[in-house]
Amino acid sequence: MVRSGKNGGLHLKQIAYYKRTGEYHPTTLPSERSGIRRAAKKFEFKEKKLFYVGKDKKQSRLVIISEEEKSKVLRECHENNTGTHHGISRTLTLVESGYYWTSVTNDVKHWVYSCQHCQVAKNSAVLAQRYQPLPVEEPWAAVTADLMGPFPSSSRSHVYAVIVTDAFTKWVVALPLRDVAASEVSRAIISLFFLYGPPQRVVMDQGDEFINQVRETASQIELPARWPALRSPGLRPFRGLCAVWPPLEAGFYTEQPPLLLKPQGRTHFLLQMRKRSQGGCALSHRAVHTGFLHSADTSLTSS
Protein backbone atom coordinates (compact mmCIF):
# COMPACT_ATOMS: atom_id res chain seq x y z
CA MET A 1 0.00 0.00 0.00
CA VAL A 2 1.13 3.54 -0.72
CA ARG A 3 0.89 5.82 2.30
CA SER A 4 -1.52 8.72 2.04
CA GLY A 5 -0.01 11.70 0.24
CA LYS A 6 2.91 9.74 -1.20
CA ASN A 7 3.61 9.90 -4.92
CA GLY A 8 2.83 6.55 -6.56
CA GLY A 9 5.67 6.89 -9.03
CA LEU A 10 8.16 7.44 -6.22
CA HIS A 11 6.81 4.37 -4.42
CA LEU A 12 7.44 2.22 -7.49
CA LYS A 13 10.93 3.70 -7.93
CA GLN A 14 11.75 2.74 -4.34
CA ILE A 15 10.52 -0.81 -4.96
CA ALA A 16 12.52 -1.07 -8.18
CA TYR A 17 15.66 0.18 -6.43
CA TYR A 18 15.20 -2.31 -3.59
CA LYS A 19 14.62 -5.24 -6.01
CA ARG A 20 17.65 -4.31 -8.08
CA THR A 21 20.16 -3.52 -5.31
CA GLY A 22 18.75 -5.06 -2.16
CA GLU A 23 19.06 -1.68 -0.47
CA TYR A 24 16.64 1.13 0.25
CA HIS A 25 16.36 4.14 -1.99
CA PRO A 26 17.75 7.32 -0.38
CA THR A 27 14.25 8.80 -0.35
CA THR A 28 12.80 5.88 1.62
CA LEU A 29 11.86 6.88 5.14
CA PRO A 30 12.64 4.49 8.03
CA SER A 31 8.91 4.09 8.65
CA GLU A 32 8.42 2.98 5.01
CA ARG A 33 11.06 0.24 4.88
CA SER A 34 8.88 -2.62 6.10
CA GLY A 35 6.21 -1.62 3.60
CA ILE A 36 8.75 -1.59 0.76
CA ARG A 37 9.95 -5.08 1.73
CA ARG A 38 6.39 -6.46 1.74
CA ALA A 39 5.45 -4.76 -1.51
CA ALA A 40 8.64 -5.93 -3.24
CA LYS A 41 7.48 -9.55 -2.93
CA LYS A 42 4.82 -8.80 -5.59
CA PHE A 43 7.39 -7.58 -8.14
CA GLU A 44 10.11 -9.20 -10.23
CA PHE A 45 12.85 -8.01 -12.54
CA LYS A 46 12.83 -9.54 -16.01
CA GLU A 47 15.23 -8.42 -18.71
CA LYS A 48 16.08 -5.29 -16.70
CA LYS A 49 12.40 -4.34 -16.46
CA LEU A 50 10.19 -4.37 -13.39
CA PHE A 51 7.00 -6.44 -13.56
CA TYR A 52 4.11 -6.72 -11.14
CA VAL A 53 3.40 -10.44 -10.60
CA GLY A 54 0.98 -10.24 -7.68
CA LYS A 55 0.85 -12.24 -4.49
CA ASP A 56 0.25 -15.50 -6.39
CA LYS A 57 3.05 -14.81 -8.91
CA LYS A 58 0.65 -15.50 -11.81
CA GLN A 59 0.51 -12.02 -13.30
CA SER A 60 3.09 -10.33 -15.48
CA ARG A 61 2.29 -6.62 -15.84
CA LEU A 62 4.97 -4.19 -16.91
CA VAL A 63 5.43 -1.42 -14.36
CA ILE A 64 4.94 2.05 -15.83
CA ILE A 65 6.47 4.99 -13.97
CA SER A 66 6.89 8.02 -16.23
CA GLU A 67 3.94 10.18 -17.26
CA GLU A 68 4.98 9.91 -20.90
CA GLU A 69 4.79 6.11 -20.79
CA LYS A 70 1.41 6.24 -19.06
CA SER A 71 -0.02 8.49 -21.78
CA LYS A 72 1.25 6.14 -24.47
CA VAL A 73 -0.34 3.10 -22.79
CA LEU A 74 -3.63 4.90 -22.19
CA ARG A 75 -3.81 6.05 -25.80
CA GLU A 76 -3.13 2.58 -27.17
CA CYS A 77 -5.67 0.91 -24.88
CA HIS A 78 -8.38 3.54 -25.30
CA GLU A 79 -8.31 3.54 -29.11
CA ASN A 80 -8.23 0.44 -31.29
CA ASN A 81 -6.89 0.05 -34.82
CA THR A 82 -10.27 0.86 -36.39
CA GLY A 83 -10.54 4.20 -34.60
CA THR A 84 -13.10 3.04 -32.05
CA HIS A 85 -12.78 4.59 -28.59
CA HIS A 86 -13.43 2.28 -25.64
CA GLY A 87 -15.25 3.27 -22.47
CA ILE A 88 -13.79 3.30 -18.97
CA SER A 89 -14.42 -0.37 -18.18
CA ARG A 90 -12.95 -1.74 -21.41
CA THR A 91 -10.00 0.65 -21.36
CA LEU A 92 -9.19 -0.27 -17.75
CA THR A 93 -9.38 -3.98 -18.57
CA LEU A 94 -6.96 -3.57 -21.47
CA VAL A 95 -4.52 -1.50 -19.40
CA GLU A 96 -4.55 -3.86 -16.41
CA SER A 97 -4.07 -6.89 -18.65
CA GLY A 98 -0.49 -5.83 -19.39
CA TYR A 99 0.54 -2.80 -17.32
CA TYR A 100 0.71 -1.64 -13.72
CA TRP A 101 0.97 1.59 -11.82
CA THR A 102 -0.64 2.67 -8.56
CA SER A 103 -3.11 5.25 -9.90
CA VAL A 104 -4.21 3.29 -12.98
CA THR A 105 -7.96 3.38 -12.22
CA ASN A 106 -8.14 7.14 -11.67
CA ASP A 107 -5.88 7.80 -14.66
CA VAL A 108 -8.10 5.74 -16.97
CA LYS A 109 -11.21 7.61 -15.81
CA HIS A 110 -9.52 10.97 -16.30
CA TRP A 111 -8.27 9.95 -19.75
CA VAL A 112 -11.69 8.85 -20.98
CA TYR A 113 -13.47 11.88 -19.49
CA SER A 114 -10.91 14.18 -21.11
CA CYS A 115 -11.03 12.51 -24.53
CA GLN A 116 -12.36 15.13 -26.95
CA HIS A 117 -13.51 12.51 -29.44
CA CYS A 118 -15.58 10.72 -26.79
CA GLN A 119 -17.15 13.94 -25.55
CA VAL A 120 -18.15 15.01 -29.06
CA ALA A 121 -19.64 11.58 -29.77
CA LYS A 122 -21.49 11.58 -26.45
CA ASN A 123 -23.02 15.02 -26.94
CA SER A 124 -23.84 14.67 -30.62
CA ALA A 125 -27.54 14.21 -31.24
CA VAL A 126 -28.27 11.38 -33.64
CA LEU A 127 -31.11 12.46 -35.87
CA ALA A 128 -33.38 9.69 -37.06
CA GLN A 129 -34.09 9.50 -40.74
CA ARG A 130 -37.24 11.27 -41.70
CA TYR A 131 -39.94 8.71 -42.30
CA GLN A 132 -40.98 8.51 -45.92
CA PRO A 133 -44.19 6.50 -46.18
CA LEU A 134 -44.58 4.29 -49.21
CA PRO A 135 -47.29 5.93 -51.36
CA VAL A 136 -50.04 3.43 -52.17
CA GLU A 137 -53.58 4.04 -53.39
CA GLU A 138 -54.93 0.54 -53.91
CA PRO A 139 -54.54 -3.02 -52.63
CA TRP A 140 -51.56 -5.03 -53.82
CA ALA A 141 -49.92 -2.03 -55.51
CA ALA A 142 -46.95 -2.34 -53.17
CA VAL A 143 -45.89 -5.08 -50.79
CA THR A 144 -43.07 -5.57 -48.33
CA ALA A 145 -41.18 -8.84 -48.01
CA ASP A 146 -39.24 -9.63 -44.82
CA LEU A 147 -37.37 -12.72 -43.72
CA MET A 148 -37.96 -14.13 -40.23
CA GLY A 149 -36.47 -17.03 -38.32
CA PRO A 150 -35.01 -19.42 -37.62
CA PHE A 151 -37.98 -21.07 -35.91
CA PRO A 152 -38.34 -24.61 -34.54
CA SER A 153 -38.35 -26.93 -37.53
CA SER A 154 -41.77 -27.89 -38.90
CA SER A 155 -42.74 -31.41 -39.99
CA ARG A 156 -41.57 -30.46 -43.49
CA SER A 157 -38.25 -29.02 -42.27
CA HIS A 158 -39.29 -25.39 -42.66
CA VAL A 159 -37.35 -23.17 -40.27
CA TYR A 160 -37.72 -19.73 -41.87
CA ALA A 161 -40.54 -17.66 -43.32
CA VAL A 162 -40.83 -14.77 -45.72
CA ILE A 163 -43.57 -12.39 -44.58
CA VAL A 164 -45.31 -10.54 -47.41
CA THR A 165 -47.44 -7.57 -46.31
CA ASP A 166 -49.77 -5.56 -48.52
CA ALA A 167 -48.91 -1.91 -47.83
CA PHE A 168 -52.48 -0.73 -48.44
CA THR A 169 -54.60 -3.25 -46.52
CA LYS A 170 -51.87 -4.56 -44.14
CA TRP A 171 -52.87 -8.08 -45.21
CA VAL A 172 -50.13 -10.55 -44.33
CA VAL A 173 -49.12 -13.81 -45.98
CA ALA A 174 -46.46 -16.06 -44.43
CA LEU A 175 -44.51 -18.30 -46.80
CA PRO A 176 -42.45 -21.18 -45.34
CA LEU A 177 -38.78 -21.61 -46.24
CA ARG A 178 -36.21 -24.32 -45.60
CA ASP A 179 -33.38 -21.82 -46.03
CA VAL A 180 -32.95 -18.15 -46.86
CA ALA A 181 -31.06 -18.47 -50.12
CA ALA A 182 -32.13 -15.91 -52.72
CA SER A 183 -33.33 -18.66 -55.04
CA GLU A 184 -35.58 -20.15 -52.34
CA VAL A 185 -36.98 -16.76 -51.33
CA SER A 186 -37.67 -15.69 -54.91
CA ARG A 187 -39.39 -19.01 -55.66
CA ALA A 188 -41.75 -18.54 -52.71
CA ILE A 189 -42.52 -14.90 -53.51
CA ILE A 190 -43.07 -15.52 -57.22
CA SER A 191 -45.37 -18.45 -56.42
CA LEU A 192 -47.44 -16.01 -54.38
CA PHE A 193 -47.56 -13.61 -57.32
CA PHE A 194 -48.85 -16.36 -59.59
CA LEU A 195 -51.67 -16.85 -57.12
CA TYR A 196 -52.59 -13.23 -56.49
CA GLY A 197 -50.99 -11.29 -59.31
CA PRO A 198 -47.86 -9.15 -59.41
CA PRO A 199 -47.68 -5.93 -57.39
CA GLN A 200 -46.15 -2.82 -58.84
CA ARG A 201 -43.46 -2.62 -56.18
CA VAL A 202 -41.79 -5.00 -53.76
CA VAL A 203 -39.83 -3.55 -50.85
CA MET A 204 -37.20 -5.79 -49.26
CA ASP A 205 -34.84 -4.92 -46.42
CA GLN A 206 -31.93 -7.00 -47.68
CA GLY A 207 -28.50 -6.43 -49.18
CA ASP A 208 -27.99 -5.33 -52.77
CA GLU A 209 -26.57 -8.69 -53.85
CA PHE A 210 -29.59 -10.54 -52.46
CA ILE A 211 -32.00 -8.07 -54.09
CA ASN A 212 -30.26 -8.43 -57.45
CA GLN A 213 -30.58 -12.23 -57.35
CA VAL A 214 -34.30 -12.04 -56.60
CA ARG A 215 -34.76 -9.36 -59.25
CA GLU A 216 -32.98 -11.52 -61.82
CA THR A 217 -35.26 -14.48 -61.09
CA ALA A 218 -38.34 -12.26 -61.35
CA SER A 219 -37.20 -10.85 -64.69
CA GLN A 220 -37.07 -14.34 -66.19
CA ILE A 221 -40.86 -14.55 -66.03
CA GLU A 222 -41.36 -10.91 -67.04
CA LEU A 223 -42.63 -9.67 -63.70
CA PRO A 224 -42.83 -5.89 -63.91
CA ALA A 225 -42.55 -5.28 -60.20
CA ARG A 226 -39.71 -3.09 -58.97
CA TRP A 227 -37.51 -4.47 -56.21
CA PRO A 228 -35.89 -1.55 -54.40
CA ALA A 229 -33.77 -2.35 -51.36
CA LEU A 230 -35.61 0.26 -49.30
CA ARG A 231 -35.92 0.61 -45.56
CA SER A 232 -39.55 1.31 -44.68
CA PRO A 233 -39.93 1.33 -40.87
CA GLY A 234 -43.66 1.91 -41.12
CA LEU A 235 -44.23 -1.26 -43.08
CA ARG A 236 -42.94 -4.00 -40.84
CA PRO A 237 -44.49 -7.47 -41.08
CA PHE A 238 -46.63 -9.32 -38.59
CA ARG A 239 -44.41 -9.60 -35.52
CA GLY A 240 -46.65 -12.09 -33.72
CA LEU A 241 -45.63 -14.92 -36.00
CA CYS A 242 -43.18 -16.27 -33.45
CA ALA A 243 -46.01 -16.93 -31.02
CA VAL A 244 -48.39 -18.53 -33.50
CA TRP A 245 -45.83 -20.53 -35.45
CA PRO A 246 -46.53 -24.03 -33.96
CA PRO A 247 -50.33 -23.99 -34.56
CA LEU A 248 -49.73 -22.93 -38.15
CA GLU A 249 -47.24 -25.67 -38.88
CA ALA A 250 -49.90 -27.89 -40.40
CA GLY A 251 -50.60 -25.20 -42.97
CA PHE A 252 -47.17 -25.46 -44.57
CA TYR A 253 -47.08 -26.86 -48.07
CA THR A 254 -44.24 -27.32 -50.50
CA GLU A 255 -45.96 -27.01 -53.87
CA GLN A 256 -47.74 -23.72 -53.23
CA PRO A 257 -47.55 -21.08 -50.52
CA PRO A 258 -50.08 -21.40 -47.69
CA LEU A 259 -52.35 -18.59 -46.59
CA LEU A 260 -51.54 -18.78 -42.91
CA LEU A 261 -52.82 -15.36 -41.93
CA LYS A 262 -56.17 -14.21 -43.26
CA PRO A 263 -56.77 -10.53 -44.08
CA GLN A 264 -58.77 -8.47 -41.62
CA GLY A 265 -60.58 -6.66 -44.43
CA ARG A 266 -62.30 -8.81 -47.04
CA THR A 267 -59.68 -8.32 -49.71
CA HIS A 268 -59.54 -10.93 -52.46
CA PHE A 269 -57.58 -11.12 -55.66
CA LEU A 270 -58.89 -12.80 -58.80
CA LEU A 271 -56.51 -14.14 -61.40
CA GLN A 272 -57.11 -14.56 -65.06
CA MET A 273 -55.12 -16.08 -67.88
CA ARG A 274 -55.23 -14.33 -71.19
CA LYS A 275 -53.53 -15.01 -74.49
CA ARG A 276 -50.76 -12.73 -75.57
CA SER A 277 -50.76 -11.54 -79.16
CA GLN A 278 -47.51 -13.43 -79.75
CA GLY A 279 -49.20 -16.68 -78.86
CA GLY A 280 -47.82 -16.93 -75.35
CA CYS A 281 -49.59 -16.57 -72.04
CA ALA A 282 -49.27 -13.95 -69.37
CA LEU A 283 -50.91 -13.52 -66.00
CA SER A 284 -53.22 -10.61 -65.32
CA HIS A 285 -55.13 -9.84 -62.16
CA ARG A 286 -58.08 -7.92 -60.82
CA ALA A 287 -58.21 -6.62 -57.31
CA VAL A 288 -61.59 -6.83 -55.63
CA HIS A 289 -61.68 -4.85 -52.40
CA THR A 290 -64.61 -5.00 -49.96
CA GLY A 291 -66.91 -6.45 -52.58
CA PHE A 292 -66.33 -4.12 -55.53
CA LEU A 293 -63.89 -4.01 -58.41
CA HIS A 294 -60.94 -1.85 -57.41
CA SER A 295 -58.66 -2.18 -60.42
CA ALA A 296 -58.98 -4.28 -63.52
CA ASP A 297 -56.90 -6.29 -65.91
CA THR A 298 -53.37 -5.11 -65.18
CA SER A 299 -51.02 -7.19 -67.30
CA LEU A 300 -47.87 -8.70 -65.86
CA THR A 301 -45.94 -7.38 -68.81
CA SER A 302 -47.10 -3.78 -68.47
CA SER A 303 -44.57 -1.22 -67.29
| C-beta of residue 269 within 8 angstroms of C-beta of residue 286 | yes
Q: Could you tell me how many residues make up the chain?
A: 303
> Higher model confidence: residue 246 or residue 157?
157
Residues 6+ apart with CB under 8 A from 167: 134, 136, 141, 142, 143, 144, 203, 235
Tell me: cis bond preceding 150? Omega within 30 of 0 counts: yes
pLDDT at 99 over 90: yes
CATH superfamily name and code, 142-231+248-254: Ribonuclease H-like superfamily/Ribonuclease H (3.30.420.10)
Residue 135: which pLDDT band, with cuts at 50, 70 and 90?
confident
Cβ atoms within 10 A of the Cβ of 146, count? Answer: 18
pLDDT at residue 180 in the model: 78
Report pLDDT digits (tens) over 8-23.
788 899 998 998 889 9
Q: Which sequence spans correspond to the domains of the chain?
A: 7-63, 66-128, 142-231+248-254
pLDDT at residue 68 in the model: 92
